[in-house]
Amino acid sequence: MPAARELLLDAAFTALGVRPWNGVRMVDVAVAAGVSRQTLYNEFGSKDGLARALVRREAETFLAAVERSLADTAAQGGADAGDCCAAAALCTLRAARTNPFVRAALTGCRGERLPAAAAPAVPAPRTPPPAPCSFRGVPHSPGALADRLRDSAAAAVDGAPGGTGDPGSSTRRACEAAVRLTLSYVLAPAASDEEAAREVAYLVRVLLEAEDGPAGAVSAPSPTAGDR
């Protein structure tokens, strides 16, 4: 049986599917989780504490899923850098569509339904952005999260069979572009997530070939990588 903490986080997440955060009551979360309200307060201290824990869990789950998709793709024979970035893009797009916390973390836009902790305020133009805060190592600003996704993709590409083991500037630039293109599809979706992922793969291959030639790929392109 899941621990009380996970039951409470699940109950809070489910409640957000029914009403906005300002309408979610702590007592209702406790009842839905099958625990006492005192247990809820012992775990999180306050409603704000519950919100922060929920944001942290959803971000951790998302990042773990992206990094797992990168590792699985990089381990496949014949996978190239485009395949790795396409896998990460597909995972990101699906998560952003189905999980409002992930979408808020990626875009900085939480709307009215989510707690404020889901998306910190974006700094005004021409003002220095605050140093990104984190929840136990989880980036908590859209820019910091994009950097984390870029670094994870670059590490997966260069750690794959045929990679150099050292994410170079060309790989980082290609992965940066892949992340930024993926984020644009979060805001303005393509006809399908698969089509968007193919565009990401194509962009990465073009950028790496322009800088490094065929050697910029992790290995020979996959025959199902969506060549154009």
Report domain extents, the chain: 1-45, 55-216
Contact indicator for 93, 197 with CB cutoff of 8 Å: yes
Amino acid at site 134: S
pLDDT band for 213, please (50, 70, 90 cuts).
low
Range list of β-strands (E), the chain: 134-135, 138-139
Q: pLDDT tens, 42-59?
A: 999 999 999 999 999 999
C-alpha–C-alpha distance, residues 44 and 47, integer Å: 7
Query: If you average pLDDT over each of 154-163, 191-200, 218-227, which comes out highest?
Result: 191-200
> CA nearest 88: which of 107, 74, 103?
74
C-alpha–C-alpha distance, residues 51 and 180, integer Å: 28
Range list of β-strands (E), 40-143: 134-135, 138-139
Half-sphere exposure of 135 (CA within 13 A, CB side): 21
| pLDDT > 70 fraction of the chain, expressed in percent and rounded | 78
pLDDT band for 112, please (50, 70, 90 cuts).
confident
The CATH homologous superfamily of the domain defined by 1-45: Homeodomain-like (1.10.10.60)
Contact indicator for 154, 188 with CB cutoff of 8 Å: no
pLDDT band for 78, please (50, 70, 90 cuts).
confident
| Mean predicted confidence (pLDDT) in 176-185 | 97
Average pLDDT, the chain: 84
Q: How far from 163 is each of 61, 129, 155, CA to CA, in Å?
A: 27, 35, 9
Q: Quick check: 155 pLDDT over 50?
A: yes
